[in-house]
Structures are given as C-alpha cells and as structure tokens.
Structure 1
Amino acid sequence: MKQQIIIKSADLFLNLGFKSVTMDDIAHEMGISKKTIYQHFDNKTKLVEAAMLHVFENVACGIDHIRELNVNPIEEIFKIKQFVMEHLKDEKSSPQYQLQKYYPKIYAGLRIKQFEVMQSCVKQNLQRGVELGLYRDSINIEFVSRIYFNGMLALKDQELFPLKKFSMNALMEHYLEYHLRGICSPKGVEFLLSLNQLKPTN
C-alpha cells in the first residue's frame, strides 16, 4: 500500500502541483481513508519527499537505460530529453519550481542528486562526442557539463521563463539547439541537421 500511495501521489503532484493536491485528494483518488495514508506518512512533507525520490529514481534509471544503448551522442541527448519530458508530464504544473518554493529542503536534496546524475551523464556524452568528432575537441568538458546543468535549472524558473510565454517543450528545444550549436563540430552540425532537429542557419 505504501508504494501505491507514493506512485499515485507522485502522479497527482506532477499533474496538478504540490500546493493544490491535499491528503484528502490523494485518499479520494485512491479510494482509501486519509487515516491509511497517515499510517505510512506522518505528514504531507514526508509524502512529497518520498514521491519525488521515487520520480527521481525512475528518471535516473530510464536515463541509464538510454545511455546503455550507446547511440550517437547527439541522438542520445534528444532521446533523454524526450524520455524526461514524457516522465514529468511535460512539466505542466512546473513541479520543480513549486518544489523549490514550497519544499525548499526537499528541493535542495534532490538538486544534489540531480547534479551527480547529470554530471556523470553529460560528461560521458561530451567525451564520446569529442572522440567521435561530433563535438569540438577544444571544449572544456568540466565547464560545459556544469553550464548545461545550471541552464536546465534556469529553464524551470518561472520568473525567468513564465509558462504563459514559453512551453517547457519549446524551452527544451531552444536550449538543446543553443547547447549543441555551441559544442558541435562541422561534422556534428551536419549530423544534427540530418536528424531534422534543427533548421539550417542562414
């Protein structure tokens, strides 16, 4: 039952937001009493923490599976982007922004975990790209990987990028173009265009 509560709560939080979803809502959706939830979680904060850790672990596991496919590094970036967007419901409720605002301690802990996963993933992607001649061999991998991570966080800042002006999917597309145009070699840009992911520059 505990795992079922975590899974349902995570789905509701991602779809509707952390603030609007109450313990009553979760109990109603599951057809159980609120008392049953409190048997497993002392309060909503504990449930939010468990739910978001569950989401993080699922996303990290999915990213690992994509990395194991050992596809072209440029393709890998787009596959990971598609997987993450689908898993986070296209971030319709901007969960990371809400998590930071209403549950800052949980957000801070997850941010450390996200950084560790992304550093490993992005650095490996950059190294393979350089070895295959798709990325410029002059890039500073340590610098680019950290800029990439911080840029991803910035996209979820609604004060910088309000959802009324920018959909998360569009932001991700623009950001990947910005990132890849900056690091790709001529060979990499040629491959990028062959994927029809980006428009040729004039």
Structure 2
Amino acid sequence: MAKEPLKSSHRNEMRLNIIDTAIKAFHTHGVKSVTMDDIAHSLTMSKRTLYQIFSDKEELLLACLQQKEEENVKTDMELLERYDNVLDFLLHIFENRMREFEVITPNFFTELGKYPKVTTYFSKRNRAHEDEAVEFLNKGIEQGYFRPDVNFVIIYRQLTLGLKLSMNSRELTQFSQRELFINTVIPYIRGCATLKGIEIIDRFIDKYRSAEERDAD
C-alpha cells in the first residue's frame, strides 16, 4: 500500500516539531542513545510518519545542525548591529556559545564525528566561511585589537581542526565543551591580541571565572 503524502504546510510544521524535539534529545542524551523510536514516541507520532519526513537518524541529525546554524547566524547578525568593534562582538558570541554548551552533554560532540554526512557538512561549512571569517578578523587588526603579524588563515584552520579533534576524541569527553572552549579557543584568540585586546579578553575571562565561582557556591 502506497504511503499517503503529507500536505506541504502540515509537513513543514511537523518537520520543525521533529527537529525541535530531536535537538533537545540529542543535546541531553547524546546522539547514539537516542533512537528514531524515541523521537516518534516523544511526539506521539507513528514511526511511519517520522520516516516519511526523515529517512534515517543521520538525515534528522543533519537537519538539526543546519537549523541550529541558521538560528546562530540570526543571533550573530543581531549582535553585530550592537557592537562596534570586532573583539567585543567575538567575545559576546563566545559567551552565547558557552551558555549553550552548559546544557549539552559532551557525548553529543564526540558522537557527531561518527556520521559521514555530518563531517562533510562541517568541512564544507568551514571552507565556505573561511574567507568571510578571516576578513572579519583582519578588521580587528585595523581596530588595534589584534597583532598585525598574525596570519588568520592559519589561526582559523587550526581552530577548526581543533574542533574536529574534539568531535572525534574520547579522551576529551570528561570535559564539558564549555571547559574546552574557555581553555582552548579563548587562549588562542588572546595570543593573537595586542595589549589593548588582551585587556578586554582578560576582563571577559575574569567575568566568566567569577560567574563560575558564584555558580559553584
């Protein structure tokens, strides 16, 4: 018996609901432990309907990552309108990302590397964003926040390789992505900064550490 096609508007609404539910489940439990059965059950939806929209878990995971990327771009553009200098903008993006990382299990990131379509997506995205990111970081040189001797092509590629490593390394699962971020990306950027930039970054780190201590009390 042929599957009854879903109407376009209803299908789009269901697709967004599935993605929203799946993102929360993947972030909380990791990718491996969440099944398509779990997603269907959470939505009180039949597996047949779920598979009409997403052929398998990898396709669903990829859709979740793409949706999250769109949301991040929108938020980043709103921040760009609020901050005049490159460094303030970057640090506020970092702050947003670290806030997101607080509620995501480390397994989520390490398990992403097991899905070929996902790794291909990240590779293509990083290549596509490189020129734009490097041009933006070079503005920080003009503004006096970054050293003029820094090659940001190398910095960008090194950082993306580091993120790829964290996605594939079980040795890092004992640390949250927030911890990895504050101990890798931030020092990397600090090493590119002028004294003027270092002052701003150090204030950001102090603010982060103070908040961390308050949360621990």
- Please report how far the alpha carbon of residue 4 of structure 1 lies from its aligned counterpart in structure 2 after TM superposition: 1.0
CA contact (8 A) 1:14 1:88 kept: no
- Structure-2-length-normalised TM-score: 0.76
CA contact (8 A) 2:28 2:103 kept: no
1:66 and 2:79 equivalent? yes
CA contact (8 A) 2:86 2:136 kept: yes
Q: What corresponds to 2:215 in structure 1?
A: none
CA contact (8 A) 2:141 2:148 kept: yes
CA contact (8 A) 1:17 1:94 kept: yes
Identity fraction in percent: 26
Q: Which structure 2 residues correspond to residues 1-202 of structure 1 after superposition, within 5 A?
A: 1-87=14-100, 90-101=103-114, 103-117=115-129, 119-120=130-131, 122-159=133-170, 161-164=171-174, 166-195=175-204, 196=206
- Structure-1-length-normalised TM-score: 0.81
- Which runs of 5 or more residues in structure 1 are unaligned? none
Whole-Å Cα distance in 2 between the matches of residues 74 and 158 of structure 1? 30
Aligned residues: 195
Deviation digits for residues 20-59 of structure 1, max 9, x if unmatched? 1111111121122222212222333332232222222222
CA contact (8 A) 2:27 2:104 kept: yes
- Please report how far the alpha carbon of residue 89 of structure 1 lies from its aligned counterpart in structure 2 after TM superposition: 5.4
Whole-Å Cα distance in 2 between the matches of residues 171 and 45 of structure 1? 26
Larger radius of gyration: 2
Whole-Å Cα distance in 2 between the matches of residues 88 and 150 of structure 1? 19
Change in Cα spacing, 1:183 to 1:20, as seen in structure 2 (3 Å) is same
Whole-Å Cα distance in 2 between the matches of residues 153 and 95 of structure 1? 13
- Please report how far the alpha carbon of residue 131 of structure 1 lies from its aligned counterpart in structure 2 after TM superposition: 0.8
Q: Secondary structure at the match of 2:31?
A: coil
Q: Secondary structure at the match of 1:139?
A: coil
Whole-Å Cα distance in 1 between the matches of residues 60 and 208 of structure 2? 41
- Please report how far the alpha carbon of residue 127 of structure 1 lies from its aligned counterpart in structure 2 after TM superposition: 1.4
CA contact (8 A) 1:27 1:33 kept: yes
Change in Cα spacing, 1:130 to 1:198, as seen in structure 2 (3 Å) is farther
Deviation digits for residues 44-83 of structure 1, max 9, x if unmatched? 3332232222222222332333334334322222211222
Deviation digits for residues 65-123 of structure 1, max 9, x if unmatched? 3334334322222211222234455541432321211x123321233114423x25532
Change in Cα spacing, 1:168 to 1:67, as seen in structure 2 (3 Å) is same
Q: Secondary structure at the match of 2:113?
A: helix
